[in-house]
Amino acid sequence: MAEGDGLANMVVEGDNLPYFEDTLTTTADSDVPEPINATDWTYKMGWLCPETDPLLDTSVSWNTQSPDISVCLQKSLLIWVPCGFLWVMAPFLIYRLYRSKSLYIPHTLLNIIQTVLAAGLGLFAGADLIYFATKESGDTVDVLDPIIRGLTWLLVVAIIQLGRVRGSRNSAVLWIFWFVFILFSLPRLYSQMRREIDSETPSDLTEVISNTLTLVIAVVQWVLAFFMDAKPAYIVGEGPDDSTIPCPETTSSFPSIITFSWFDSLAWTGYKRTILDADLWELNPRDQSATVAPVFDNNWGPKLKAANLTSRGNVDGGEVVIETGKKKSPKESLSIFLPLVKSFGMSFLLGSVLKFFHDIMVFIAPMLLRRIIAFSEPVCEGCTQSPVWQGILYAIALLLVALFQTILLSTYFYWMYLIGLWTKSALISALYRKSLTVTAESKKGSTSGEIVNLMSVDCQKIGDILPYLNMLWSSPLQITVAIYLLYQILGASVIAGLVVMI
């Protein structure tokens, strides 16, 4: 009787362990209970994959010493995500190419190799489609996978050739696409190699060869995306060559731009000796007043007409005539806000998107660090720790998050300061042009000092505030998420700290 009570007490104590909660099993061959994770779950897509191959199964992909991923996941999400990214970005890329001021890049070794390799990927996808379509045991996902890949490779060929015709020397979208495709292809290659080595569950050798060659070509394509193509044969608005040094940013690839390596030459020059005027580059045509001022003027002119404010020149000398007829006076109805939004709003929105993803990554790092701490500390005495590969995965993820966070933040501030520069240049150009057209009689209402003050001080303030304008929504977002995460750890006591800070 006493021995039975002792066994019952042992089971009760085991049930109270946090790691083995209601999941312990005992065997006659082992005195130490083995944990079974009760949170295992599966998700199946019967219309796409067979019932024996779930899309997600945590008992195989996470709660195990030797992780693996299902074939359904390999041929669905791991293909859909990178290909879907390219198809979503393709309309924006095509629109940008058609607005390009550069035209026609001749056939070079770089774009020929890129086109041939992309066409080769299409041939591999077509061969896979024929192979799985004629295979008796083929499923829907087996046929859908090569179809999506084949259409995507055709799109890649079209983008490469369209970029060549429209004078695009490097594509940021293709660089990101190849990078994402490689990342999502590595788990598939690992799983297939693992199944090939394991004699119990061998994989299809034909499929392994096809996917391996596809991954190798994708890596080559990504490496080629680091290089710039030849200079376009014709650039709209390009003047004759002079003694000025062109800005290297205009001839830099996407990786060079996001890492700011195009600036290294000037930084090294300043490190070795004093920088002279001859060392300075020509301003990027994108940032010149001749480029940004007409964009603002096209959106500012209709506002002047809508306010019935016109400038009419008389034979006697001309004067500004205000045509009223509206409830508000023309001066009250005029505002530079909407013209600025129409001129640079999309660029500002792009910077806001970069800021949003950066703010999200700010909180991913502490969550990963919490996982690493929990991984390194045993939950209870005698409990089996998490697999080693999970700790390695957390560490790599923490490094990547910090890397992407730095790139996003630096790109955000650089882009927002450029928008501030564009805004300042456009407003100063509009003010200067207006000061040249008003008559002497109209100038009596304002002094030259006031006009100069508008150009030098007010326009500068508008440009300086733009990089920090996103803090209006970014700060509340960060505070809300931080309080929520702290509440999960500290409970209601976090509210007291919040009240004290307020």
Instruction: For residue 26, report the phi and psi dihedrals to the nearest 5 degrees.
Output: -125, 145
pLDDT tens digits for 73-89? 888 899 999 999 999 99
pLDDT tens digits for 301-334? 887 777 655 444 443 444 445 444 445 555 556 7
User: What ranges make up the beta strands (E) of 21-166?
Assistant: 25-27, 30-34, 42-43, 56-57, 102-103
Q: Which residues pair with 208 in a beta bridge?
A: none
With pLDDT > 90 as the criterion, what percentage of the chain qualifies?
Answer: 38
Helix axes 140-165, 172-197, angle to 10 degrees: 150
| pTM of the entire predicted model | 0.81
Contacts of residue 135, defined as CB under 8 A and 6 or more positions apart, other chains included, come to 142
> Alpha helix locations (H) across 325-387?
330-333, 337-376
What is the secondary structure of 418-457 as a DSSP string? HHHHHHHHHHHHHHHHHHHHS-TTGGGGS-HHHHHHIIII
3-state secondary structure of 310: strand
The stretch 389-409 carries a mean pLDDT of: 92
Q: Of 50, 49, 22, 48, nearest to 36 (Cα)? A: 22
pLDDT at 11: 35
The stretch 127-134 carries a mean pLDDT of: 88
